[in-house]
Amino acid sequence: MNFVHGIDFANCPLHIMNHLFLKSSRALALGLALCVSSLGLFAQTEAPPASAAAAAPAAAPAAAAAAPTTDQRIAALEAYVNNGDPGKSLTGVAGPGHNAWMMTSAALVLFMTLPGLALFYGGLVRRKNVLSVLAQCLGIAGLVTILWWAFGYSLVFGKNFNSGLFGGSEYFFLKGVDSAPNTDYAYWVSQNVFSMYQMMFAIITPALIVGAIAERMKFTAIMAFVTIWMFVVYFPLAHMVWGVNGLMNGVWNANATIKAIDFAGGTVVHMSSGWSALILCLLVGPRLGFGKEKMAPHSMVLCMVGTGMLWVGWYGFNAGSAVAADGIAANAFTTTTIATAVAAFVWGLIELIFRKHASILGFCSGAVAGLVVITPACGFVNTNGAVIIGILAAVVPYIFVTKVKAMFGYDDALDTFGVHAVGGTLGALVTGILAVTSVNGNLNTNLKDVVGHTLWLEQLKAIGLTLVLAVVATVIIAYIVKAVVGLRPTAEVERQGLDINEHGEEGYVD
């Protein structure tokens, strides 16, 4: 007699044995399914185990279909080089060159924030507040990473909400996001790499805002503001412009309500942060002593070092937005270089002519302005367009940061509005005028009749929507944060400096 689990199988009638066996195996399957699906929230899976267990002895693996033919395999390799659909072979696997470029680009964009922006802004504030800027950049990097992992990536690049405004929940906690490409966005880049790359954009966008309210906003208030702002402004805006079913994704969404284009984030990154920055700086109010006391940059050396890092990192930001190491990326790389260099030179030239000195801050501001304005355009315009953009990028922001700011007297401490809002808006508009299909054939997919005709109008609509969203949301969020946490430190803390009071450290100990 064989005893198994106390059941006498040898003497059990067969039908009872079958009944027991089926019951226990079904129970086992059910238990397994329950366990696994509850873990599903945190699962970093290659295959979905829940469905495998629940389906029990389903049909034989469907993947035992016919192996790809030699022609199909060659086509797949050619598709790798051309950044196209691999078809029957090489599916679910990233292409090394494209993936390597995107990993590099992600690192470059992070480099833009840490330490590029940190030093650029850090050098421009007074000595007693240098660490506050660094802390804000570091804090935002950590905070946004957590938000992105939990909800952000899914809300921007998911699609199960079937909405042009918000993506979906399918990728919450990066579930299912592994090294296989998400073909909604790229054939040859790992989805986890794509997610990390996009996360760097999500990090730097709120970090730009801190420039406008530098030296006079509480660290906790900034963290609270950014948390809400990401959900109300950034995630929906990024989905609208870059989500596969986003209502402003003119290039890839045939049903887009607004057929606008934005290669690397003129609206998503610069307009959103820039206009929000303006509203926030008006609501927070000017620094104590603004207009009377000297508030010169404490280190133009750090500022310039930061600028160089921003420029180099921006290649990841702009050329990486091709999400491939292809000809479009090459074009973006080129136009970015030309527009930035032209803008830096022209800004210096304007200062030389009108102010007798070409200043370091002038060159740096020109370079950053050039980078901002070329951002939405880089993958859509040619080098002639880049030169035009470079000149405009120096002239228009220059007028805003010198004349307009002086006229209205707002304390946009580090000129986030003057450079990013103005530059982003200008860039979005100019993209609509200078974009050509010869540079980017993807414009022919859904925008053949729009490019060169009514694209500028679509861009205007996108600009309008972005502006309204950023402004209205910032007003509401600012008042909420003010009520719960308070926006400004006490006058004494502000006078002594934020570093020693909010962070317990000094930037330079002599």
Partner 1 sequence: MKLIIAIIKPFKLEEVKTALSEIGVEGMTVTEVKGFGRQKGHTEIYRGSEYTVDFLPKVKIEVVVPTEITAKVIDAITKSAKTGKIGDGKIFVLSVEEAVRIRTEERGAAAI
Residue 365 near partner 1 by CB under 8 A = yes
Q: Quick check: 169 and 160 in contact, CB under 8 A? A: yes
Instruction: In angstroms, give the least distance from the CB of 348 to partner 1.
Output: 13
Residue 294 near partner 1 by CB under 8 A = yes
Which residues in 299-318 contact partner 1 (CB under 8 A)?
Answer: none
Distance separating alpha carbons of residues 462 and 460, to the nearest angstrom: 5
Stretch that binds partner 1, among 19-27, 41-49, 85-93, 361-369 (CB under 8 A): 361-369
Nearest CA-CA partner of 248 in 483, 461, 504:
461
* Residues 6 or more apart whose Cβ sits within 8 Å of residue 306: 115, 116, 117, 118, 119, 120, 121, 122, 123
**Mapping DSSP to helix (H, G, I), strand (E, B) and coil, where does residue 160 land?**
coil
Tokens of 379: 């993958």
Residues in the chain: 510
Would you tell me how many other CB atoms lie within 10 Å of the CB of residue 444?
Answer: 12
Q: Which is nearer to partner 1, 321 or 365 (CB)?
A: 365
Binding mask 36-55 for partner 1 (x = CB under 8 A): --------------------
From candidates 127, 405, 461, 482, binder to partner 1 by CB under 8 A: 405
Residue 118 near partner 1 by CB under 8 A = no
Binding mask 416-445 for partner 1 (x = CB under 8 A): --x---------------------------
Nearest CA-CA partner of 148 in 158, 133, 136, 160:
158
Residue 406 near partner 1 by CB under 8 A = yes
Q: Which is nearer to partner 1, 402 or 454 (CB)?
A: 402
From candidates 145, 402, 446, 454, binder to partner 1 by CB under 8 A: 402
Q: Which is nearer to partner 1, 303 or 465 (CB)?
A: 303
Distance separating alpha carbons of residues 251 and 443, to the nearest angstrom: 6
Concatenated DSSP letters of 326-358: SHHHHHHHHHHHHHHHHHHHHHHHHHHHHHS--
From candidates 131, 295, 302, 368, binder to partner 1 by CB under 8 A: 295
Distance separating alpha carbons of residues 364 and 396, to the nearest angstrom: 15
7 pairs with which residues across the strands?
A: 4
Instruction: In angstroms, give the least distance from the CB of 403 to partner 1.
Output: 8
Distance separating alpha carbons of residues 422 and 311, to the nearest angstrom: 19
Q: How many residues bind partner 1 (CB under 8 A)?
A: 17
Binding mask 199-228 for partner 1 (x = CB under 8 A): ------------------------------
Stretch that binds partner 1, among 54-62, 99-107, 401-409, 479-487 (CB under 8 A): 401-409
Instruction: In angstroms, give the least distance from the CB of 361 to partner 1.
Output: 5
From candidates 215, 415, 494, 502, binder to partner 1 by CB under 8 A: 415
Alpha-carbon torsion (466, 467, 473, 478), positive or negative: positive
Tokens of 459: 């861009």
Instruction: In angstroms, give the least distance from the CB of 292 to partner 1.
Output: 11
Residue 297 near partner 1 by CB under 8 A = yes
Tokens of 183: 């073909």
Stretch that binds partner 1, among 175-183, 329-337, 353-361, 433-441 (CB under 8 A): 353-361
Q: Which is nearer to partner 1, 105 or 365 (CB)?
A: 365
Q: Which is nearer to partner 1, 248 or 361 (CB)?
A: 361
Alpha-carbon torsion (130, 135, 138, 144), positive or negative: negative
Stretch that binds partner 1, among 22-30, 351-359, 387-395, 446-454 (CB under 8 A): 351-359
Which residues in 457-476 contact partner 1 (CB under 8 A)?
Answer: none
Phi-psi region of 415 (alpha: psi -120 to 50; beta: other; left: phi over 0): left
Number of Cα atoms under 13 Å in the Cβ half of residue 218: 17
Identity of the amino acid at 504:
G
Q: Which is nearer to partner 1, 159 or 287 (CB)?
A: 287
Would you tell me how many other CB atoms lie within 10 Å of the CB of residue 185?
Answer: 17
Q: Which is nearer to partner 1, 209 or 350 (CB)?
A: 350
Would you tell me how many other CB atoms lie within 10 Å of the CB of residue 373?
Answer: 35
From candidates 359, 437, 442, 446, binder to partner 1 by CB under 8 A: 359
Distance separating alpha carbons of residues 124 and 205, to the nearest angstrom: 19
Instruction: In angstroms, give the least distance from the CB of 407 to partner 1.
Output: 10
Residue 401 near partner 1 by CB under 8 A = yes
Q: Kindly report the backbone phi and psi dihedral angles of residue 287, in degrees, each rounded to the nearest multiple of 5, phi listed first.
A: -65, 150
Q: Which is nearer to partner 1, 19 or 403 (CB)?
A: 403
What are the C-alpha distances in Å from 94 to residues 72, 80, 186, 231, 382?
A: 17, 9, 9, 30, 29
Q: Which run of H or E residues covers position 443?
A: helix 443-447
Distance separating alpha carbons of residues 322 and 316, to the nearest angstrom: 10
Residue 15 near partner 1 by CB under 8 A = no
Residue 292 near partner 1 by CB under 8 A = no
Stretch that binds partner 1, among 71-79, 267-275, 289-297, 461-469 (CB under 8 A): 289-297
Q: Which is nearer to partner 1, 140 or 401 (CB)?
A: 401
Residue 357 near partner 1 by CB under 8 A = yes
Query: Where does this chain bind partner 1 (CB under 8 A)?
Result: 294-297, 355, 357, 359, 361-362, 365, 401-403, 405-406, 415, 418
